[in-house]
Structure 1
Amino acid sequence: MIWEIIFWLFLIPLIIWGLHKLFRYSAIGIPFIRNNKKLYWVFMIGLVLLINYLVDKFYLVN
Structure 2
Amino acid sequence: MKIAGINQQQQERRPGAARSGERGSATVIALLILGLLTIFVALALSRTTAEALIMGNDAA
Give the TM-score range, shorter chain: 0.3 to 0.5
With the length of structure 1 as denominator, give the TM-score of the two structures.
Answer: 0.39
Q: Indicate the structure (1 or 2) with the bigger Cα radius of gyration.
A: 2
Bigger strand fraction:
2
TM-score (norm 2): 0.40
